[in-house]
Structure 1
Amino acid sequence: MYGIGRSPRLRPSPYFEATIRAGVEAFTTYNHMLLPMRYTSTEDEYESLIHGVTIWDVAAQRQVEIEGPDAAALTQYLCTRDVSRIKPGQARYTFMCNYQGGVINDPVLLKLAEDHFWLSLADRDILLWVQAVAAERGFDAKVREPDVAPLQVQGPLSGDLIGDVFGSTVRDQKYYHFVELEHEGVPLVVSRTGWSGEFGYEVFLRDSSKGEWLWELLFAAGAKYGVKPAAPNQIRRIEGGILSCGTDTDDSVTPLELGFDRLVQFESESDFIGRAALAAQKSRGVERRLTGFRFGGEPLRVNSLYLDVSRNGERVGRVTSIIYSPRFEANIGFAMVGAEHAEPGTELEIHLHTGTVAAIAEAIPFVDAIKSS
C-alpha cells in the first residue's frame, strides 16, 4: 500500500472531498494536482462507462486562458490547427509543438470569442511556455490560468443527465461545440467533448468555490440513470485510439508520427511553432509511426514501463500503452515502431516481463462509438 502526501505543492481539486466520500481508491499526480485513478476497478468502471453514465473529476485538466487584441494570432502560433476556421462556441482537438515539431501538449482548444480562447491541457507546464512565447514574440494578449475546474460526464446516458439538468439546447449541441451559461447563478461552460471514446460532455465550473454544489447537482440528477463516479478509463481510451500525452507522446514525437497528419494544417498560410520542421518531415517521410497491436493470453493491466517491440528478433520500437480489452477478449495497445513495421497485419513480438509474445499490428482506433449528435 502506498500513499500520496498532500502539501500546498499539490493544489486540491474543488471536488476532492466529494471524491473521498464517493470512495476513490487511488490518485495520480497530473498538472501538480491529484487526479482520481480508481474507485472500484478499471473493468467495473469500463462497464459503467460503455453502458450507462459516469462522472469524472478532471479538475487537473487545467486551462490556459488567452485574451486580448492578439489572442487569435498567439493561439494560431501555438497550435497546428487553422484557428481562423474556428467560430466562437466551437472547440477543436489540436497539437502544440516545440520548434523541432515534437509534441509538448495536445489540448482541446475552446474559442469563447474572437479575442478569447482556452487551452484545456494535458499533463504539462504549458502556462509558462505560452507566457514566454507571448512575451518573446511581442503578442498583445493576457495569458493566465482562469478559475475553471472541469468535470466529465461520459457514457451513452450522459445526454439524458445533461438534458435533465441544463435543458435540451445544451444536451443537443453538436460534437466539439460548447455553451456558456449560468445555472442557479453559477457560471459554467458545457461542451460536447471528452476523453472516453463514448458520447459525453465536459462541464467547466467557472467558480471553484462551487465544487460541492456541482458534484451534488449532477449526482442527484443522475441517480435515476445509475450514475457512477469513475476515473479516466484506460481500456476505453486505448480502444478508441485516444492518446495519453507524456505516455504515447513526448517532445521528440511529432503529430505526423502519431498518424495525425490531418491536424497539421499546412494549407493555412499562418505560421505555427514547429511548422518548418514538420513540413520537412512530411516531405521526406516519417521513419517511425504509432500503430495498434493485439494479442491473446493472460489479461494484462495497464503498463507502468515502456516495453520493447521486435520483429524477427530485431528491436523495432517500444510499447507505449497496453491493457486487456473485455470487448475483444484480448490485450491491445499502441507501439511506436519503424514505419515499415506499422502496417496492419505485420507480425510483431512484444517483450513482457514474463516473456515474449506474438502480436499483430492493427489500425487505430480499435473501435469507435457514435459521439456526434
Structure 2
Amino acid sequence: MKHFNYIFTGTGLAALMTVYEMILSKKTEDKTILLIDSDAKKTNDRTWCFWDDSNHFEEIIYKEWKNTLFANENYRKQLNIEPYHYKMIQGTDFYKFIFNEISKHENIHFLQEKVIDFSELGNHCLVKTEENNFTCNKVFNSIFNPNLVTSQKKYPLLQQHFIGWFIKSKESVFDENAATFMDFSVKQKGNTRFMYVLPTSKNEALLEYTLFSKDLLSKKEYENEIELYIKNLGITEYEIVEKEQGNIPMTCYPFWKNNTKNIINIGSAGGWTKASTGFTFKNVTKKSKELVSFLETNSDFTKFHKKDKFWFYDLLFIDVLYKDNSIGSKVFSGLFQDENSGLILKFLDEETTLFEDLKVILKCPKIPFVKALLCRIFR
C-alpha cells in the first residue's frame, strides 16, 4: 500500500489553490502529495468571479470590469467599486495554470479515480478509491457531504442555484465595460431572484438566472427566464455558445467541527464558501494561504478554524432570508443604495473595522435583522 504525506480527496478550487500555495511557500518540497479526483479537470465547467485591487492571477484573467451595475424594479444605477475591479477566470484557464505548476514538481501526483472512503487510523489516515487504497499523514477533503447540513435544524441551508448561458447576439446591446452585479427587476415570485450579466463584448455575454432560496427549480424555469430577459434586452437573434449551471450551499453550519487531528475539510466541505453571498474564489484564496501557513507551525487540524464576527453576520443574514425569502431584493437594494459601493465589497471580503461594519449594517432593513438577532440570543 503506497504512502504519501498529504492526500487531497477531490481537486476542486480549494484543493488546487492549497497545493498552489504549498508550491509558492517552498516549505513542502520534501512532502509527497497525491491529488485524487474522478474528473480530469480539462473542461470549462465553471467560471469564477471576484472583486480585487491587486494583480493576483493576472495572467489568467479572462475579463475584468471597472464598472458594475445594480438594478431592481424601480431603478438601474452604476456603482463605483473603487479601489476594486471585477474579474473573471474561466475554469479551463485556472486548471491549466495550476496543473502546469504541479507538473514541475516530482513530489506532486494526480490520480484520476473516484474516492469512496477516507478515515483516520491513529497517527495516519486511510484513503480508498474504487481501484486502490493509500495511506497518508494528512487528508485534505473537499468532497461535500450535504447530509451534515440537512440532518440538523440549528443552521439553515439556502442554495445559490443558477443556470447561465454564454450567448453571442446579432444586436450590439451590451456595455462591455460594465458587469451587471445584480438585476432584481426580474419577477421575484416570493424568492430572492436576480440576473447576473457579464459582457465580454458588445454582442457577447454570460447571463445567469440566479436564486438564493431553499429549493431548486426545473431546468425549464431557469431557461424560460433567461429567454425572457434576452428578449427584453432587445435581442432578436442569438447563438448559445456554452451553458453552465451550479448549486452553491449557503450555510453557517460549523463544518470545522468535523475536522480531526489529521483530516481537514476544505472548500465548500469545510465552510470556505462565503455563506451570505456564495462567492468562493476570494475566500478560498485567503483560506488556502492561512492553511499552508498553519501547517508550518501546527499539526492538529482541529485547531485551524476560529469563528469571528463575520460568521455571525452571515448567520443572521441566512436566518433572515430563510424565514422570508422574498426580502432579498430589499436587503441588497439597501446595501447598494449609494453609488459608492467599495465599502460593501470590503465588508463582504471581511476586512472592515467594527465602525465600518455598523455603517454597512445600518443600510439593511432593521426589523428582520433585530428579530433574527433576538431569536439567536434566546434560542
- When normalised by structure 2's length, the TM-score is 0.25
Bigger helix share: 2
- When normalised by structure 1's length, the TM-score is 0.25
